[in-house]
Amino acid sequence: MQFFVSLCTFPILGAALTAGSARIEKVRRTIIIISWLQVISVAVLCLPVLLGNVSILQFTPDFAVDRIGAYFLMLTNFVCACSLSHAPTFFRNESLFAGKTVPPQHERMFYASASLFLLAMNFVFLSDNLGLLWVSIEATTLFSAGLVYFSRDKHALEATWKYLMICSVGIAFALLGTILIFASSQHGAIQGGSLNVRQLLGCAKQLEPKLLELGYIFCLLGYGTKAGIFPLHTWLPDAHSEAPAPASAMLSGALLNCALFAIWRITELVRLTEHHAICESVPIFWGALTALAAGLFLVHQYGIKRLWAYSSIENVGIMLVAIGLGSPLLFFLQALNHSVAKVALFLLSGNIIQYYKTKDLSQIRGLLQVSPTCGILFAICAAAVTGMPPFGAFIAEWLILAKSADATQGIAVGILLVALAISFVAVSIHVARVLWGTPKSEIALSGTFAKYLIPSLLCLCTIVLGLSALPLIMVKPI
């Protein structure tokens, strides 16, 4: 019980604080402190599981943290802490640079939505009950709508509407899938049926196969809409590009992981039955297809944030392949590398948009000239996201390809290779165009190094991750 209390304290505190009448500067500072305190508290509480002493921490029958859940919990809180720490600088610079005055109550709403959003995401990883998992994911949709709608202009409205509608319909299908799984458990496996993951895993072989398969497909469809797999991804570029930079970072870096984690839970369940062929072939193939489609979309992009949104879709495809392969390590590794690099990229893009006062890629030129720091960090993170050695994403993708080849998924390997190649070339060209060339107009620079603090921290993380994961390739892959 105390785990809950401590887990929920900080986000709720954050949300409550913004409703108070404190001045916005105080709110900004407190939010930063609260978010990092949250990371520390989660780390402390999950320590036994993280270190591997305990395989699972069970609080109530319906809430538990297992190993992969603990890792994702840490990642999510870290990502949100980074974004929320960068957010005050971002908003401060909005008024200074971009000439857009951000009303304080909008910023308060942002922090409040972000805190509740973080709370909902934490619950996704904590839920040991498929029904509560669903409720948490729907809650994340609802809270993040407030984030996407931040700038309150026409485009933001359109993006929010599309986001809400498509994701809600998708998640409704996931609910149908959950009900089908519940029905399959009622057929003699468990008296009265159960949605509890531990119970379901325990009696996986007795679950009714037809209902389970149907339920799996619907859940994949539903949570896949939330994760942004092709062709249900149409909301993603709009939502991620209209949200302000810290929100985009949270959406790309943390929310997609939540949806994929839900798919992971259910795949884990179906894998234990005799009909596990479906949960191997379908995610792998669909993931490869998503990556290919995203790669093709990446070729013609005109917005800098849309570029990174499509790159997220590609990485979602790769993570889906990892889920299909059944390796929690690869799934988490890819998620970790992607999240860290993507958050840094989005935060840097936010800064870039503030300098150039436009999102249009064709207008952004000569970044290295305008701000060498920004340019170098941008280049490093872009390289990390597209999977260039020696960064961690390369290692994760290499391992995934190797495992797929081992599992004789030749077609998927082929498609993935093509997809990775196309996206690498496309992103490199776009990034090169951004970095070099001459700026189209006079760019006013100023400001402290504070706005590069978090991105540089994250850059460092990507380098460290890459170097530390190197042994994984040297040793026989898992």
Partner 1 sequence: MMSSIDLCVLCAAVLACLMVGSLHLRLNLWLYGAETLCIALATLFTAQSHSESGLIYIALLIAGLKAAGIPLFLGWTSEKLNVHRDVGAVIAPPLAMHLTIILLAFSFILTRGLPAPSMAASGWYGATAGISLLFTGLVVMLTRRLAIGQILGFLVIENGIYVFALTQTLGMPMLVEMGVLLDMLVGVMVSGLLVFRIQKSFEHIDVAQLTSLKE
Residue 127 backbone phi and psi in degrees, to 5 = -70, 130
Does position 43 interact with partner 1 (CB under 8 A)? The reply is no
Count of beta carbons in the 10 Å neighbourhood of residue 421: 11
Q: Which residues contact 151 (CB under 8 A, 6 or more apart)?
A: 242, 244
Cβ proximity to partner 1, 153 vs 406, nearer residue: 153
Structure tokens at 467: 């170097």
Helix (H, G, I), strand (E, B) or coil at 39: helix
Q: Least CB distance from residue 309 to partner 1, whole Å?
A: 11
Query: How many Cβ atoms are within 10 Å of 66's Cβ, its own excluded?
Result: 20
158 binds partner 1 (CB under 8 A): yes
416 token code pair: 């993935």
Tell me which H or E stretch contains 196.
Answer: none
Options 206-214, 266-274, 348-356, 360-368: segment touching partner 1 (CB under 8 A): 206-214
> In the complex with partner 1, which residue's Cβ is closer, 18 or 129?
129
Question: Is residue 61 within the footprint of partner 1 (CB under 8 A)?
Answer: no
Q: Which burial class, exposed, middle or buried, applies to 330 when counting CB atoms under 10 A from its CB (0-12, 13-18, 19+)?
A: buried
Q: Does 211 bind partner 1 (CB under 8 A)?
A: yes
Tell me: does residue 175 bind partner 1 (CB under 8 A).
yes
Q: Does 427 bind partner 1 (CB under 8 A)?
A: no
The region of 138-146, 359-367, 409-417, 463-471 touching partner 1 under the rule CB under 8 A is 138-146
Of the candidate residues 42, 68, 80, 164, the single one contacting partner 1 (CB under 8 A): 164
153 binds partner 1 (CB under 8 A): yes
Closest CA to 365 of 306, 282, 432: 432
Element (H, E) at 197: helix 197-202
> Which residue's CB is nearer to partner 1, number 130 or number 335?
130
Query: Is there binding between residue 129 and partner 1 (CB under 8 A)?
Result: yes
- Residue 65 backbone phi and psi in degrees, to 5: -125, 120
Nearest to residue 259, comparing CAs of 220, 214, 230?
220
Among the listed residues 56, 172, 329, 368, the single contact to partner 1 using CB under 8 A? 172
Binding of partner 1 by 203 (CB under 8 A)? no
Return the range that interacts with partner 1 (CB under 8 A); candidates 46-54, 145-153, 269-277, 333-341.
145-153
According to CB under 8 A, which one of 126, 195, 385, 458 is a site residue for partner 1?
195
The answer to whether 341 contacts partner 1 (rule: CB under 8 A) is no
Minimum CB–partner distance for residue 437 and partner 1 (Å) = 24
Provide the 3-class DSSP secondary structure of residue 187.
coil
User: Is the bond preceding 231 in cis, omega lying within 30 degrees of 0?
Assistant: yes
- CA distances for 309 relative to 63, 361, 396, angstroms: 32, 14, 20
> Which is nearer to partner 1, 293 or 399 (by Cβ)?
293
What separation in angstroms does the CA of 92 have from each of 86, 96, 110, 199, 447? 10, 7, 14, 50, 10
With contacts defined by CB under 8 A, name the span among 45-53, 183-191, 265-273, 317-325 that binds partner 1.
Answer: 183-191
CB of 121 to partner 1, least distance (A): 15
- CB neighbours of 167 closer than 8 A, spacing ≥ 6? 141, 225, 226, 235
Residue 183, amino acid: A
State the number of binding residues for partner 1 (CB under 8 A).
Answer: 48
Residue ranges in contact with partner 1 by CB under 8 A: 62, 129, 131-132, 134-135, 138-139, 141-142, 145, 149, 152-155, 157-162, 164-165, 168-169, 172, 175-176, 178-179, 182-183, 186-188, 192-193, 195, 208, 210-211, 237-238, 241-242, 297, 300
